Amino acid sequence: MEQVVILGGGVAGMQTAAALSDLGIKSVIIEKQSELGGKVKTYDKIFPFFQSGKEIVKYLESKLQSSSLINIKTGTEISSVTGSAPDFQVRLTADSQRIPAQAIVVATGFEPFDASLQEEYGYSVYPNVITATEMEHMLDFESDTHGELTRPSDGKPAKRVAMIFCAGSRSEKLGHNYCSRICCSFTIKQAIEIKERRPDAWVTCFYIDIRTYGRGFEEMYRKAQELGIKFIRGRVAECGMLPNGDITLKAEDTIQGKPIRGTFDLVSLSTGMTPCVDAVKLMRILGIRVDEDGFFTSIDTETQPNISSREGIFLAGAVTGLKPIPDCISDGNAVAAKVAGFIKTQVVPQGFV
C-alpha cells in the first residue's frame, strides 16, 4: 500500500495526514517534539476571531486518532533518506528502522526570531522586555501566570505596555528582508486582550505599516483602535532600563515627524519568524533547495507552491514562507491532493515558469 512520510506534526502536517487518510493513503508523521501541534498548541487565542489554538490542535488530533491509516512517531527526527521517488527509504534517529515512502512532505514549520539579535531593544538583558510568544504565555489563563499581566522583574502589574512591531522582520541589517505577515495581527489580538481585561491599561503599538490583510483582520484592527489602543507609526530606536525596572523607549513618530520617548512597565517585541531550525540539515538530507531568505524553494511560487525542487518531495505550511493558521491548513489539503496525484500518475506537476 502507498505510504507517505510527513516531516513535522504541526497543523500543516496534521492536516496533510488527515487529508491523505480521506483519500485512502497511509502516512507516517515524524515529529521532533514529544507531542503534536507545533506552535499552535501553545496559543490560547488566535486571530482574528479569538478561537483557541489549543482546541484547533485537539480537533486535528481527534481526526488523526480516528484514522487507521496514520502512524505517529514523536520525539524523533530523520537521519537519512536514500533512494528516489517513488522508492524513498527514510531512517530515523531513534531507531535503525527504515520507513519506505513513495513521497515525502516537509511540514516542519518556522522558528520565532531570536529577539536578542535586535540588540537595541535589550531583550534577554532587561527583564521587562519580552517577546510576543512570552506575552501569549502570560495571557493564557492556563499558564503559571493565570492570565495576569505582570512585570517579570518584580511581579508588579503591568499597566503601561508597549508593543514593538516588526522585531526581526523587514530588516536588511538582520538579513530578514521579508515581512513575517502574521505578527501585526497576532500583536493586535494580544493588545485587544490586554485592553479588554484591563480597561485602564495604556497599550501603545509602534509599527512601520499595519499589514492586516486577511478576512476579519482589518476589523480586528479597527476594534483595537476603538478600544483606545494607541498606534504610533515609527520604528523604535532603543530601549533602556531605569533603576526600578521601568523600560524607557525612544522612537520616531513619523506622522508627527518628531522623535518621541516613553516609559513603560512592559515592552513586548512582536517577533518575526525565521525558517525552521533544521532547514539547512533537511536541505542536505533531502537534497532540496532553499531560497535566499532560508525558506524552501518551490518549483513555481505562483502555480506550484507545494512542489519542492526534488521529485517526490512536497512542501506544506510555513516552510515556504510565513502563513496564518487557516493558510497552513489549506496547504495541508493542497499537498495531500498533489501527493495523491503524484502517487497515481508518477508525474511531477510542472510550474508555469
Partner 1 sequence: MSMDLQIDFNAEAREKIWKRYIKDIPDNHFLFLPSCILGVGYPGSEAMMPRLFDYLKLDWNWNLGPESVCTCCSAITYHGDVATIESTLLTIARLWSIAQEAGYKDLAVSCVTSFGMHNECLELYHHEPGLKKKIDRMLMEACGRKFELPEHIIHVSDLIYKYRHDLAGSMKYRLINKKSDNPLQVVDHVGCHYNKLFPVDKSLGGAEYCEVLTGMVKAYGGTEIDYPERRHCCGMGFRQCMISPNRGYSMACVKKKMESMELFMPDFIVTNCPGCQIMLDKEQWAIKELAGKDYSIPVLTYMELGGLLLGWDPYDIVGIQFHTVPVEPLLDKIGIPYDETKLWLGKNGQILNCPDPIRKYTLAAGEEKKGQLL
CA contacts within 13 A on the Cβ side of 305 = 18
Q: Report the alpha-carbon distance of residue 174 to residue 11 in Å, rounded.
A: 28
Name the residue nearer to partner 1 (CB basis): 244 or 350. 244
The pair phi, psi for residue 172, each rounded to 5°, is -70, -35
Question: Smallest distance from the beta carbon of 234 to partner 1, in angstroms?
Answer: 18
Question: Smallest distance from the beta carbon of 265 to partner 1, in angstroms?
Answer: 12
Q: In the β-sheet with 98-101, what is the strand arrangement from edge to edge?
A: 78-82, 88-92, 98-101
Name the residue nearer to partner 1 (CB basis): 137 or 250. 250
Q: Report the alpha-carbon distance of residue 329 to residue 69 in Å, rounded.
A: 19
Question: Smallest distance from the beta carbon of 167 to partner 1, in angstroms?
Answer: 14
Question: Smallest distance from the beta carbon of 255 to partner 1, in angstroms?
Answer: 24
Name the residue nearer to partner 1 (CB basis): 237 or 255. 237
Name the residue nearer to partner 1 (CB basis): 197 or 261. 261
Cell 503591568, located at residue:
158
Question: Smallest distance from the beta carbon of 242 to partner 1, in angstroms?
Answer: 6
Name the residue nearer to partner 1 (CB basis): 24 or 240. 240
Name the residue nearer to partner 1 (CB basis): 184 or 247. 247
Name the residue nearer to partner 1 (CB basis): 66 or 244. 244
Question: Smallest distance from the beta carbon of 145 to partner 1, in angstroms?
Answer: 19
Question: What Å distances lie between residue 292 and 24, 93, 177, 244, CA to CA?
Answer: 37, 29, 10, 43
Contact residues for partner 1, defined by CB under 8 A? 116, 119-120, 122, 124-128, 153-154, 238, 240-245, 248
Q: Report the alpha-carbon distance of residue 161 to residue 152 in Å, rounded.
A: 13
Question: Smallest distance from the beta carbon of 41 to partner 1, in angstroms?
Answer: 28
| The CA-based dihedral angle spanning residues 241, 247, 248, 249, taken in that order and rounded to the nearest 10 degrees | 120
Question: Smallest distance from the beta carbon of 178 to partner 1, in angstroms?
Answer: 22
Name the residue nearer to partner 1 (CB basis): 146 or 173. 173
Q: Are 149 and 161 in contact (CB under 8 A)?
A: yes
